[in-house]
Structure 1
Amino acid sequence: MGLRKFFEDLRQQRGAGAPGEAAGEALVAERMALAYEAAEANDYESALAIWGPLAHQGVARAQNNIGKCFSDGLGVDRDSALALRWLTLAAEGGDPVGQRNLAEIYFKGEGVQANAVRAAELYRMAAEAGDGPAQDMLSWMLVEGEMIPGDISDAKRWAEAAAAQGIVPAMTRLGMMYHNALGVERDAAAAARWWDKAAALGDADAQAMLGAAYQLGAGVPRDGVAALMWLLRAQAGASPLAEPFIHPTFAALSVAEIERAKKLANLPLPEPA
């Protein structure tokens, strides 16, 4: 969740406004929009000059943005202490993005002792406020059950919430849950449907699993060309899940079929089903 995620959060600000604008704070909305435009143009000095006064006025999203800049070194030198300070203020101010970014700091132990339990608490706060990436991360932690107690039912609920917001790893995870019968009845067709959605959106692990499904005829009709096409995409995306399947798939196809699969793998991704 680095620079790309930061810009996605900024785009949400432009469309939905920052916390604290519900009372009709048009000036705050206008200033935040100007800061967004500056940040998009890589003019972080101007963006920070706008966010600074707003942050001191208690605008939680501005506090988050400053904290994220210090965390990632955007327009300022990296400073984990200042990142922690500003993100804590944003989280305490009720900003779900600030809660998620603070959770990431605790999860990674950047400038603070790593604390997965505290990270999960913050991810849950943000998830309950509707933040898709936080819902996805909380789902992953609940599935793994290593850093916090596992809860497959809760993991599925949060993965579904994140997937509904277009969070691609959550779609892949749901496919895995149906594939492995985690909290649900094993359902190869449902697994393949989730992998198809995520694969079409570029997730390499989903592409690998969808390719394997086509190779085995699990939840989808057996189709060696489609299998190889998805496995080649997954391999190009560095998914280790493709390796056990790609060589047997090559071996089962004719030269003409292999060439067709390679051509398909080089085409733009298809639309999600």
Structure 2
Amino acid sequence: MMSFFATSGHRKCLKALFIVLTLLVSQSEKSWADTATADVSGFCYSNQPAEIRRCGEAADAGSATAQIVMGQRYRDGSGVPQNLFLAKNYLSQAAEQSEAAILILAGVLLGSEYAEVNDFGAGLEWLTRLSNSNYEPYQRYAASWLGNIHYWGWYGVERDTSVAAHWIKLGAELGDPESLELLGNLYLSGDEVPQNYALARETWRRAAELGSDHAAYSLGLSFENDRHGDRDFNAAMYWMVIAAKNNYGMAQFMLGQWYERGIGMPQNHETAHMWYNIAAAGSNAELFRSMRDGLASSMTNAQIARAQARASSCMASDFEHSDCQIPDVSLQ
């Protein structure tokens, strides 16, 4: 199970990082060191071929803003033929002037499918440098990424919880939800921090409130089990539903498990099948389909048809349709 979470968390971290990059870049544009021209945004953000060429000339003349834009264009093949080598070159130049470029460069160095472009060591060095930024969002994203890399052992880096804990604690102090989630894991296991189940839950709660679906899922599981004699299925359902509504596949799968087995609620194979269907529409579909199909062997064709229809209605309504039959639970 650890390998699944590491893989899905890896994809999630990369996706979230790339989503915020454009926002971070646009918000910090005025702080970029731009040595060649005072303002290139008027033509660098145009999709006209002549303006793209003009932006390339500004990048070659040393404009950090233009180098970032051209690096992204060559990375994505936007207005120019995709060329990750040129993307890496432009972004490497920009990173010497602009912290905004470091995040994008790290994505190319660590996430490229091409061995000739990948440079994990340089990627880690750039992220470590960025962790000392005076701009808190950059510091937070760098700490989060470094914590995940060393905690899960991404990119061929040997898993090291002692190194990971340093970055996880920094990210948690800065309010990063993924770092808080991992800090909760450390409290649960007792790695590098004193084992404390109550602190694990509290840290997961903070992460969940900041948007971490995996933390909400972990909270749901912690309240469902009876490890410390404090089982609270109302709280378990509350947090699991939050993650499930955000399309976190493992939470949807777990709701299916609870309904199939009658854990904390009356057994209901049709509703269990519905949740397995919803989970199978996302990632890790093979596992979820196998659970759904195994359950289907004990159901009638009419029950299966209703479960499938309910799953469709539930997903189409963003989990608001009455077919979802989501329990109305709240924290006491």
Q: 1:109 to 1:10 in 2, by over 3 A?
A: closer
Runs of 5+ unmatched residues, structure 2? 1-8, 42-64, 321-332
Given candidates 156, 168, 182, the residue that maps to 1:123 is 168
Instruction: Determine if the alignment matches structure 1 residue 62 to structure 2 residue 98.
Output: no
Q: For 1:175 and 1:156, how far apart are their aligned partners in 2? A: 10
Q: Which has the higher contact order (CA 8 A, sep 6+)?
A: 1
Partners of 1:87 and 1:98 within 8 A in 2: yes
Which residue of 2 is the match for residue 154 of structure 1? 199
Which residue of 1 is the match for residue 16 of structure 2? 8
Given candidates 74, 99, 103, the residue that maps to 2:147 is 103
Q: 1:49 to 1:267 in 2, by over 3 A?
A: farther
Aligned-pair CA distance for 1:125: 0.8
Q: For 2:176 and 2:71, how far apart are their aligned partners in 1? A: 19
Q: 1:110 to 1:10 in 2, by over 3 A?
A: closer
Partners of 1:135 and 1:158 within 8 A in 2: yes
Cα deviations by residue, 1:23-55 (Å, 9 ceiling, x for unpaired): x62777963984796355565566545543442
Which residue of 2 is the match for residue 271 of structure 1? 318
Q: For 2:219 and 2:71, how far apart are their aligned partners in 1? A: 34
Which residue of 1 is the match for residue 55 of structure 2? none
Q: 1:208 to 1:221 in 2, by over 3 A?
A: same
Q: 1:255 to 1:4 in 2, by over 3 A?
A: closer
Instruction: Determine if the alignment matches structure 1 residue 261 to structure 2 residue 300.
Output: no
Partners of 1:142 and 1:149 within 8 A in 2: yes
Which residue of 1 is the match for residue 273 of structure 2? 228
TM-score (norm 1): 0.76
Q: State how 1:43-58 maps to structure 2 within 5 Å.
A: 48=88, 51-57=91-97
Q: 1:211 to 1:112 in 2, by over 3 A?
A: closer
Cα deviations by residue, 1:125-156 (Å, 9 ceiling, x for unpaired): 11221222222233234334467653323322
Partners of 2:224 and 2:236 within 8 A in 1: yes
Q: For 2:89 and 2:185, how far apart are their aligned partners in 1? A: 37
Q: For 1:182 and 1:122, how far apart are their aligned partners in 2? A: 29
- How many residue pairs match? The answer is 269
Q: 1:112 to 1:229 in 2, by over 3 A?
A: closer
Cα deviations by residue, 1:199-220 (Å, 9 ceiling, x for unpaired): 2333232122212333344445
Cα deviations by residue, 1:62-86 (Å, 9 ceiling, x for unpaired): 3233233212226861122212221
Partners of 1:178 and 1:187 within 8 A in 2: yes
The alignment partner of 2:242 has SS state of: helix
Partners of 1:61 and 1:90 within 8 A in 2: no
Larger Rg: 2
Aligned-pair CA distance for 1:178: 0.9
Partners of 2:271 and 2:307 within 8 A in 1: yes
Superposed CA RMSD: 3.9
Q: State how 1:85-100 maps to structure 2 within 5 Å.
A: 85-93=125-133, 95-100=139-144
Q: For 1:138 and 1:272, how far apart are their aligned partners in 2? A: 30
TM-score (norm 2): 0.64
Amino acid at match of 2:306: R
Amino acid at match of 1:215: E
Partners of 1:207 and 1:231 within 8 A in 2: yes
Aligned-pair CA distance for 1:112: 5.3
Q: State how 1:136-151 maps to structure 2 within 5 Å.
A: 136-145=181-190, 149-151=194-196
Which residue of 1 is the match for residue 54 of structure 2? none
Aligned-pair CA distance for 1:179: 0.4
Instruction: Determine if the alignment matches structure 1 residue 191 to structure 2 residue 236.
Output: yes
Partners of 2:208 and 2:215 within 8 A in 1: yes
Q: For 2:76 and 2:197, how far apart are their aligned partners in 1? A: 39
Amino acid at match of 1:188: F
Q: For 2:304 and 2:95, how far apart are their aligned partners in 1? A: 57
Q: For 2:251 and 2:169, how far apart are their aligned partners in 1? A: 25
Q: For 2:173 and 2:15, how far apart are their aligned partners in 1? A: 22
Partners of 1:61 and 1:98 within 8 A in 2: no
Runs of 5+ unmatched residues, structure 1? none
Partners of 2:223 and 2:230 within 8 A in 1: yes
